[in-house]
Amino acid sequence: MIEAILILVGLAAFFGLVLGYASIRFKVEGDPLSDQVDSLLPQTQCGQCSYAGCRPYAEAIAAGEAPINKCPPGGETTILALADLLDVEPMELDEEAGETPEQPEVAIIVEKDCIGCTLCIQACPVDAIMGAAKQMHTVIASECTGCELCLPPCPVDCIIMVPLKTTTKNWKFKQPTPIENTYPVIPAPTDSELEKKL
């Protein structure tokens, strides 16, 4: 009896030590889940989710504090990916957060109106606006995420959002019409209808 207890205690102590060592030796830096969530977000840093950027929202999702449907730029694709990662039910996009833009947009500065105040430069979350005080500013289109954060600070409203031009290179095929819409589906008769017929 005593032997058995001693063996079990010994084993417990041994595995305890092994696990304790492993938890220190192989400690993961940072929060891996929030990193994974962050990698699925579109990184527009627009703040439409009411968090101050994608990373804070990712941390909130990882901590279970925020729902996964608050990212309008990501839209359905992001919600599906997040649902897949977190193993939760996909849900509809939160209407309060905004709508998914139909076409990606970029900001453009109307150059003749720009007074060179640098306010938009400070507002841009990805450093996509170039310029200096009292010099004309311009948006680097390839870096712009279309977050619209530069619009409110502009004192002369010289920034406009322009949809990206569709060319033969970024044009895409539409999804073929699903069968249900091309084939007249006759609903199966209900039990009562069947009884009537009989």
Q: Which stretches of the chain bind another protein, using CB under 8 A? A: 38, 41-45, 53-55, 77, 80, 125-128, 143, 145, 166-168, 170-179, 182-184
State in angstroms the smallest separation of the CB of 13 from another protein: 44
- Judge residue 139's burial from the number of C-beta atoms within 10 Å of its C-beta, 0-12 exposed, 13-18 middle, 19 or more buried: buried
Q: How far is the CB of 113 from another protein (least distance, A)?
A: 26
Of the candidates 28, 31, 23, 93, the residue with the CA atom closest to the CA atom of residue 58: 31
CB of 134 to another protein, least distance (A): 21
Distance CA(74)–CA(114), nearest Å, equals 31
Contact criterion met (CB below 8 Å) for 40 and 81:
yes
Backbone phi, psi, residue 163, to 5°: -65, 145
Residue (76 or 193) nearer to another protein, CB: 76
Residues 154 and 119 sit within 8 Å (Cβ to Cβ): yes
**Min CB(121)–another protein separation in Å:** 11
Q: Of the two residues 10 and 36, which places its CB atom closer to another protein in the complex? A: 36
DSSP category for residue 125: T
Name residue, tokens 């939760």.
88
Closest to another protein by CB, 3 or 29:
29
User: Which residue, 110, 186, 185, 108, is CA-closest to 148?
Assistant: 108
Q: Measure the CA–CA gap between 43 and 74, rounded to whole angstroms.
A: 9
Residue 1 or residue 35: which is nearer to another protein going by CB? 35
Of residues 26 and 171, the one with the C-beta less far from another protein: 171
Beta bridge partners of 162: 106
Pick between residue 155 and residue 178 the one whose CB is nearest to another protein: 178
Q: How far is the CB of 72 from another protein (least distance, A)?
A: 14
> Least CB distance from residue 182 to another protein, whole Å?
5
